[in-house]
């Protein structure tokens, strides 16, 4: 059923797009923002995310994140791309406007294209762990200050940064926080040394879209990091068929010992979920910390 935006948002949208809005329909999905499909008087159909309480720069950072992914996916010398991101049309402090993508049933060919595309993305090497600026994962801040080594970056900028936010600090309690400190101290012996890859950073099953034109990545939380972070999150929350990882491995084989490291990389999204959604995710954090610390 068509739902109207609040009038100030509608006016802002029409100013951004230089065309009157003729149709608005809600789009399902997402826990943080309101989403709409809109039709404009000039014939365009677009996708809009809005959030009047969005943290400053949240939508700007998302637009930059899509450009960061696109830069990695277009490094194939003009060959047809197996994986794409939606085009950014406009953004403001309270909204992001993208090209509208019509979803289509997933096929084995689309799954294989997703796997090959992720391998292409991960093979694109940024010059640093992190980013020149901080961004967001969901509505939470994500710190990206570059560090000398991947274990140091992952320990300080990912695990400890999330654990020290008020929600996780309160729900984890002193014992688990002490275990986390011990684990961070062990990361240099547990994590391999590998150059940074371009990461989506929030790669659960709801953040890729199957279309008739192939797979697309959406809602990134990008940075330069170890490629196994994306793979571990894919495994944690599901939503990816077996052909995805098979095609990925064919294009970019996994490093030795990945299965032993997988839960270490699942610890970060679990901490994020503790901060976003509460105590239901503490058990997963506890299981990993007891295993390693």
pLDDT surpasses 70 at 184: yes
53 carries an active-site annotation? no
CB 187 within 8 A of CB 154: yes
Say what the pLDDT of residue 77 is: 55
Query: What is the rounded distance in angstroms from the CA atom of residue 55 to the CA atom of residue 45?
Result: 27
Please, which residues bridge with residue 36 across strands? 26, 48
Of 148, 202, 219, 246, the active-site residue reads 202
In this prediction, residues 136-157 reach a mean pLDDT of: 95
Task: Count CA atoms closer than 13 A to 273's CA, side-chain side.
Answer: 17
In this prediction, residues 154-161 reach a mean pLDDT of: 97
CB 276 within 8 A of CB 168: no
pLDDT in tens, 3-48: 467 888 889 999 999 999 999 999 886 678 889 999 999 999 999 9
Helix (H, G, I), strand (E, B) or coil at 49: strand
Mean pLDDT for the chain overall: 93
Say what the pLDDT of residue 19 is: 94
- Kindly list the domain boundaries of the chain, sorted by start residue: 105-293
Q: Which of 241, 254, 258 is nearest to 113 (CA)?
A: 241
Say what the pLDDT of residue 192 is: 87
For the chain, the C-alpha Rg in angstroms (whole number) is 20
Q: Which of 110, 103, 68 is nearest to 88 (CA)?
A: 68
CB 163 within 8 A of CB 271: yes
More confident call, 154 vs 2: 154
pLDDT surpasses 80 at 159: yes
Question: Where are the strands (E) in the chain, listed by range?
Answer: 21-26, 34-40, 45-50, 88-91, 95-99, 135-137, 140-142, 197-199, 208-211, 214-217, 223-225
pLDDT surpasses 80 at 238: yes
pLDDT surpasses 70 at 272: yes
pLDDT surpasses 60 at 109: yes
pLDDT surpasses 70 at 76: no
- Determine which of 64-78, 186-200, 249-263, 269-283 has the lowest per-residue pLDDT on average: 64-78
- What CATH number does the domain located at 105-293 have? 3.90.1200.10
Query: 177, exposed or middle or buried, with CB in 10 Å at 0-12, 13-18, 19+?
Result: middle
């Amino acid at each position: 059923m068509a739902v109207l935006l609040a009038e100030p948002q509608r006016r802002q949208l029409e100013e951004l797009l230089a065309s009157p809005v003729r149709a608005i329909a809600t789009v399902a999905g997402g826990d943080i923002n309101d989403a709409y499909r809109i039709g404009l008087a000039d014939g365009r159909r677009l996708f809009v995310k809005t959030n009047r309480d969005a943290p400053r720069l949240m939508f700007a950072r998302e637009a930059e994140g899509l450009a960061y992914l696109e830069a990695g996916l277009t490094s194939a010398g003009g060959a047809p791309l197996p994986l794409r991101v939606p085009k950014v049309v406009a953004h403001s402090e309270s909204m992001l406007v993208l090209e509208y993508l019509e979803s289509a049933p997933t096929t084995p060919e689309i799954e294989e294209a997703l796997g090959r595309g992720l391998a292409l993305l991960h093979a694109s090497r940024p010059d640093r762990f992190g980013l020149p600026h901080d961004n967001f994962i969901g509505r939470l801040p994500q710190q990206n200050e570059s560090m000398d080594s991947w274990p140091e970056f992952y320990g300080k900028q990912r695990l400890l940064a999330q654990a020290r936010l008020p929600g996780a600090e309160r729900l984890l309690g002193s014992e688990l926080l002490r275990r986390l400190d011990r684990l961070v101290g062990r990361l240099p012996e547990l994590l391999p040394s590998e150059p940074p890859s371009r990461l989506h950073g929030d790669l659960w099953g709801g953040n890729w879209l199957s279309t008739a034109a192939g797979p697309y990545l959406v809602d990134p939380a990008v940075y330069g990091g170890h490629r196994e972070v994306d793979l571990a999150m894919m495994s944690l929350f599901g939503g990816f068929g077996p052909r995805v990882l098979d095609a990925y491995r064919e294009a970019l084989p996994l490093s030795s010992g990945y299965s032993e490291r997988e839960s270490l990389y699942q610890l970060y999204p679990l901490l994020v979920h503790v901060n976003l959604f509460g105590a239901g995710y503490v058990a997963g954090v506890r299981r990993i910390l007891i295993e390693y610390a």
